[in-house]
Amino acid sequence: MAGDSYSSALLTGAETTGELLALSAVEAGLRLTGVRTGPGRAEFRAPLAPDSLGPGRRLPPTLLAVAADAAVASAVFAHPASSPTGVTVELRVDQLAPVAPEARHLDVTAVALGVTDGFGSGRAEFRDDRGALIAHAVGMMVGDSDGRAPLGPGSDARPPMDPEAVRIQPLGDGSARVDVSEGLLNSRGMLHGGLLMALAQLAQEHCHATAGATLRPLRLGVSYLRPAPGEGSLHFRSEYVRRGRRLWTLRTEVLRSDGTIAAIATGTGAISGVPVRA
């Protein structure tokens, strides 16, 4: 399958998204597999290695963000009223609870909430294998109904992504740089939307560390304004919106090398370390 196999596999009546995700480099690198799909619905599963969890037994940011994007996109593009292909324009993830110590896999279930005039919204629930609700995501997709071709020359025929490649280069002023490599691209040849969210999370953690604080992430939302190209570098520039006694909100602009904004990420977290204020 070429090009937009991501969603077309769902529409051609595949019983599972496994065939698709086996070919999808980013999802395969995270061992995220499709369990089943149906009209306006998609289910995914990923193993949870005990040593892969973050502080407070949080889901790894990359798995959380990529699974959110993949699940919501799959559900929306599998909706009978949806265009078969398209892109993510808004994605928000709320982290609700830690993963149970004995949990060994993650189940992600997504449903399309509605598709109208080329736009579709969906919601995904993340549960550990004890059934506990860990996180939820909402997203909005826009279909390719205006006839625009995929960006290309993307391809799914790439080796699985190395999760270690999802990293930022911290800069001294609290901002960060990311060199976009081929392993981070989706089938359209642009930076995978879930990976952009994960990189924004890492960039925000770096900014908090520069401010001397540790935060427990509660919510991260990304607006995808323009495609993030599949080569070159991106600059993640962060600025605090508010620093309260319990909650801090940080806004991160993701800038392309031409200076235009590819995305805006807004994250809210709870202070869990003692902040050092200027």
The binder of ligand FAQ chosen from 37, 95, 121, 186 (CB under 6 A): 186
Amino acid at 145: S
Distances (CA, A) of 249 to 112, 241, 244: 29, 5, 9
Two tokens, residue 100: 């149970």
Q: Where are the alpha helices (DSSP H) in the chain?
A: 5-11, 18-23, 25-29, 61-77, 193-210
Handedness of CA 155, 156, 161, 167 (dihedral sign): positive
Buried b vs exposed e over 183-219: b needs ≥16 C-beta within 10 Å?
A: bbbbbbbbbbbbbbbbbbbbbbbbbbebbebebebbe
Using CB under 6 A as the binding criterion, the count of chain residues that bind ligand FAQ stands at 21
Contact string 104-143 vs ligand FAQ (x = CB under 6 A): --------------------------------------x-
Q: What is the Cα–Cα distance from 183 to 189, expressed in whole angstroms? A: 10
Give the residue carrying structure tokens 């990359």.
Answer: 62
Question: Which range in 47-55, 168-176, 181-189, 213-221 contacts ligand FAQ by CB under 6 A?
Answer: 181-189
Query: Rule CB under 6 A: is residue 1 a binding residue for ligand FAQ?
Result: no
Query: Rule CB under 6 A: is residue 193 a binding residue for ligand FAQ?
Result: yes
Query: Rule CB under 6 A: is residue 87 a binding residue for ligand FAQ?
Result: yes
Residues from 145 through 174 that contact ligand FAQ (CB under 6 A): 148, 151
Nearer to ligand FAQ, 70 or 215 (CB): 70
Nearer to ligand FAQ, 176 or 263 (CB): 263
Q: Which of 101, 97, 25 is nearest to 66 (CA)?
A: 25
User: Which residues make Cβ contacts (< 8 Å) with residue 47, sequence separation at least 6?
Assistant: 31, 104, 105, 106
Find the shortest distance in angstroms from Cβ 147 to ligand FAQ. Answer: 10
Query: Rule CB under 6 A: is residue 224 a binding residue for ligand FAQ?
Result: yes
Nearer to ligand FAQ, 53 or 151 (CB): 151
Query: Rule CB under 6 A: is residue 37 a binding residue for ligand FAQ?
Result: no
Query: Rule CB under 6 A: is residue 6 a binding residue for ligand FAQ?
Result: yes
133, containing H or E segment? strand 133-143
Find the shortest distance in angstroms from Cβ 27 to ligand FAQ. Answer: 9
Q: Which residues bind ligand FAQ (CB under 6 A)?
A: 6, 69, 73, 87-89, 142, 148, 151, 186-188, 190, 192-193, 224-228, 260
